Amino acid sequence: MIISKDHELLVQTVREFSQKEIAPEAASRDESESFDRSLFPKMGSMGLLGITVDEAFGGSQMDAVAATLVMEEIGAVCASTALSYLAHSILAAHNLHINGSEAQKKKYLPKLCSGEWIGGMAMSEPEAGSDALGMATKAEKKGDRYILNGTKMWITNGPVGEFFLVYAKTGPKKRDISTFLIEKSFKGFSVGKKLHKLGMRASPTSELIFENCEVPVENLVGAEGESVSHMMRNLNIERVTIAGISNGCARAAHEYSTKYATERKQFGQALGHFQMIQKMIADNYTQYRASRALTLECAQYIDSGQDLGRNASACKLFAAEMATQVGLNAIQILGGYGYTKEYPVERFMRDAKLMEIGAGTNEVMRLVIARELLKEIDGQNAW
Ligand SMILES: Cc1cc2nc3c(=O)[nH]c(=O)nc-3n(C[C@H](O)[C@H](O)[C@H](O)COP(=O)(O)OP(=O)(O)OC[C@H]3O[C@@H](n4cnc5c(N)ncnc54)[C@H](O)[C@@H]3O)c2cc1C
């Protein structure tokens, strides 16, 4: 897809920023599992944190294509930062912007768009991952408050966030799910243990714990029990933009390993002269280009209102598997050096693997795609 001049300018600006501000410490943040909070106000001042949010609330009022391109640029230098950025700008800010009331948007979006507050979204639970609607966290209305009880799991930005968009059950049926806006300071809210991960190590992940957590009724988003549709719609833009991070990891691994193949000599010639190395270089490039084209096409679908689950799932699935494979090929091209932490390709591969799990696993993506296609032919209820 040929992107617009505005999108090109955005890519150029974010690429320069990422190289200068995010890339230099990416490896050491990964090693020490540390999150660099100072990057957020910087991204805020560039208008990246509320990329899809109206200017009236401090955002940049851009589209899903723009958000996806930014994910790729940040993902190409530090996928951890890109993942935390995604949880903040898409899962929290974008979701609130689409579904929140004017008062809720006025209260929270300016803080999120500036980077004064860091946000996240909590859907998954210890016993409810792929089966997200099987969540057990409950909210009961008592006077002018809802009382939340339960535990959320795997929450990106959990240890560092001030604001979370949290899903909870408000009735006995599976689809009786409501959304609540939670501030870190609310009574009964606490952050559980930080999780130690294979990749995305500089993006902090933790449990969130609700023990009789008191939430003012005005922090309910939309109508009680009607969040399933916006939860699903938000998953679409999450899946397309996270595919942007996969594309960034793949591009970085491909570019690094191709350059290496021109420098490293064996048997008296550069590795790039060997046809089996050429095959990996050619495959990496082709797979990355195909993935980027599909991802941007699906982002365009979102922008034009043709927001189908199967499209978002297809690009997320393709990009995630592609990026892990490109990362593995890049390690192979570097040989033993690729297997060490002295070179960045192993980090790209470890980070890329997360995209095969987070925002819905590869298996769940295949289920969504197949079920939607089968339903179209054979009726809504059969699948
Ligand atoms: C680093 C990280 C960050 C995350 N950030 C967030 C966040 O910010 N907010 C949030 O809410 N969640 C977040 N998640 C959670 C993520 O979305 C879940 O991990 C994911 O949905 C899978 O759930 P699970 O881990 O419980 O795996 P399970 O659902 O237990 O799945 C285990 C395996 O079984 C397979 N499986 C399950 N059901 C089926 C089926 N019907 N058919 C075939 N195979 C099946 C899965 O594909 C997988 O291979 C994050 C996860 C990670 C690892």
pLDDT in tens, 13-29: 999 999 999 999 999 99
Of the candidates 72, 238, 321, 356, the residue annotated as catalytic is 238
Query: Is the pLDDT assigned to residue 90 strictly greater than 90?
Result: yes
What is the per-residue pLDDT for 379? 80
Q: Is 238 a catalytic residue?
A: yes
Please indicate whether residue 13, judged by its CB atom, sits closer than 6 Å to ligand 1. no
What residue ranges of the chain are covered by domains with CATH 1.20.140.10?
228-378
CA 176 to chain centre: 26
Q: What is the widest separation between alpha-carbon atoms in the chain?
A: 79
What is the per-residue pLDDT for 64? 98
Q: List pLDDT tens digits, range 202-251.
A: 999 999 999 999 999 999 999 999 999 889 889 999 999 999 999 999 99
What is the per-residue pLDDT for 383? 66
**Topology given in CATH for the domain delimited by 228-378:** Butyryl-CoA Dehydrogenase, subunit A; domain 3 (1.20.140)
- Class of 121-221 per CATH? mainly beta
What is the per-residue pLDDT for 305? 92
What is the per-residue pLDDT for 308? 84
SS3 191: strand
The letter for the amino acid at 182 is: I
Confidence band, pLDDT 50/70/90 cuts, at residue 42: very high
What residue ranges of the chain are covered by domains with CATH 1.10.540.10?
5-118
* Ligand 1 atom with least separation from CA of 83: 3
Note whether 161 and 194 are within 8 A (CB): no
Please indicate whether residue 45, judged by its CB atom, sits closer than 6 Å to ligand 1. no
Please indicate whether residue 245, judged by its CB atom, sits closer than 6 Å to ligand 1. no
Q: Between 1 and 315, whose confidence is greater?
A: 315
35 Cβ neighbours under 8 A, 6+ residues apart: 29, 80, 84, 159, 160, 202, 203, 204
What is the per-residue pLDDT for 381? 64
3-state secondary structure 198-259: CCCCCCCEEEEEEEEEEEEHHHEECCCCCCHHHHHHHHHHHHHHHHHHHHHHHHHHHHHHHH
> What is the CA angle 152-216-50, rounded to 5?
65
* Ligand 1 atom with least separation from CA of 360: 21
- What DSSP letter does each residue of 2-68 carry, written as one string? PPPHHHHHHHHHHHHHIIIIISTTHHHHHHHT---TTHHHHHHHTT-TTTTS-GGGT-----HHHHH
- Class of 5-118 per CATH? mainly alpha
Query: Is the pLDDT assigned to residue 326 strictly greater than 90?
Result: yes
SS3 350: helix
- CA dist 39 and 51 (Å) reads 16
117 Cβ neighbours under 8 A, 6+ residues apart: 108, 111, 161, 162, 163
Q: Which two tokens stand for residue 281?
A: 């270089």
Q: Is the pTM of this model over 0.95?
A: yes
Query: Is the pLDDT assigned to residue 382 strictly greater than 70?
Result: no
Distance 95 CA to ligand 1 centre (A): 20
Please indicate whether residue 151, judged by its CB atom, sits closer than 6 Å to ligand 1. no
What is the per-residue pLDDT for 236? 95
> What is the CA angle 58-61-66, rounded to 5?
125
Residues belonging to the chain: 383
Closest-CA residue, ligand 1 atom 44, reads: 363
What residue ranges of the chain are covered by domains with CATH 2.40.110.10?
121-221
Closest-CA residue, ligand 1 atom 14, reads: 154
